[in-house]
Amino acid sequence: MNFKKSEELFSEAKKYIPGGVNSPVRAFKAVGGNPVFMKGGEKALLFDVDGNKYIDYIGSWGPHLFGHNPPFIKKAVLGTAENGTSFGAPTELEIRMAKLITELVPSVEMVRMVNSGTEATMSAVRLARGFTGRNKIIKFEGCYHGHADFFLIKAGSGALTLGVPTSPGVTPANASDTLLALFNDIESVKSLVAANKNEIAAIIIEPVAGNMGVIASRGDFLRDLRRICDEEGIVLIFDEVMTGFRLSPSGAQGIYGIAPDISVFGKIIGGGLPVGAFGGKREIFNQLAPLGPVYQAGTLSGNPLAMSAGYAALSYIAENPGIYRTLEEYSGALEDGFRENLAKLGLGYQINRVGSMMCMFFTNKAVTDFASALTSDTALYAKYFHSMLESGVYLPPAQFEALFVSTVHDGSLIKKTIEAHFNALKSLG
């Protein structure tokens, strides 16, 4: 493939933008080479500035459940834009959006719109602290909850990919209130709770980790977390920025049957536009300004364009529950094809999948937590990534990220991807 224009644009971008990108993982630092600059997308395909075409498994890092540029979302956004793009005042659409979220996710009684997943998780923790009057939180190694200071401790996603899961600029005082537990290890949680009695405001977790690759919660792990939080007066926060409305109409909590106190959403509820939200129990959200003393605000929160796109996406989900059968069919076929390729080549690499989220780890060891994820051969993944890219398959440019399947990744595209996967693995020797 020819990437001449992408290379020229990247050289220009580096003069004005740190690293030439506005989010670190886009820089291809984890896989080598230069990033590909995109021009457009349609359904499951992406088109770059050099005229190359790709089957896209990033989907803007998760929100494109229906592929790129679905007509019903485009129509909603264009219609709303005719009346204005931002008012700094409430609109009826915000009410409709909040009501729909509470109908789809039973654990959510009230919801506050924000502008990003980071803003949502940051605000959720502040609310939990204000509600409980406690300062400390527990997070899990390898889980990424955005780039607020108190989250960048052994974080996943780009922080893990770039080798800086504990970022410079995070003060010791800030970090001291963040306690680290081991994903899928309830004993590590019990130890922290016992050592910090009546000091922990919240436990925050991705119920299905999507930022150290895809790792499912095992057995009764989430149920035990729920029990501990109930016994100790701790607020349980599910970060469903990635899993919310992707794994089921009510997210991962719908699959596991566990109700958190606060849920955090992003990605899909913006229909591809920048948005986030956090919602949960009424008694907790009564503490949020202007009702209560816990302050949170945002000029663009509930932006009409984002609300129209998100409402269109969630309405489509509510009216078409069969999409999850389609997602499972396509995702299952992709996993089966990948596993058959590994068997044919005698390779023991690990494939983790939950619904339409999947990751292949270049390790022969089962991946169930942060430590086992780190056994993956990232150099081998980089070679695999570039081979797939040359074959017209666009995967996450980092081992520790999820790939996402959409409702428009039909059988022919899945077949092409499986063929490219086989050739890529074979070329690695």
Structure tokens, 244: 């919310």
Inter-residue contact 236 to 225 (CB < 8 Å): yes
Using the CB atoms, write b or e for 12-33: b if 16+ within 10 Å.
ebeeeeeebbeebbbbbbbbeb
- Tell me the DSSP string of 127-181: HHHHHHT--EEEEETT----S-GGG-SS--HHHHHTT-SS-TT--HHHHTTEEEE
**In this structure, what are the phi and psi dihedrals at residue 374, rounded to the nearest 5 degrees?**
-70, -10
- Rounded to whole angstroms, the Cα distance separating 360 from 384 reads 11
The number of beta carbons lying within 10 Å of the beta carbon of residue 280 is 28
Could you tell me the two tokens for 264? Answer: 């955090």
Indicate if 144 belongs to the active site. Answer: yes
* Residue (of 137, 221, 213, 156) closest to 187 by Cα position: 221
Return d(Cα 328, Cα 336) in angstroms, integer.
12
Name residues whose C-beta falls within 8 Å of residue 14's C-beta, 6 or more positions apart in sequence.
20
* Distance (Å, whole) CA 380 – CA 387: 11
- Active-site residue identified among 239, 324, 349, 384: 239
Cβ partners under 8 Å of residue 273, min gap 6? 77, 303, 305, 306, 309, 310
**Which is the catalytic residue, given 48, 185, 267, 330?**
267
Active site residue 239: yes
Is 185 an annotated catalytic residue? no
**Residue tagged active-site, from 43, 48, 57, 144:** 144
Residues identified as active-site: 144, 239, 267
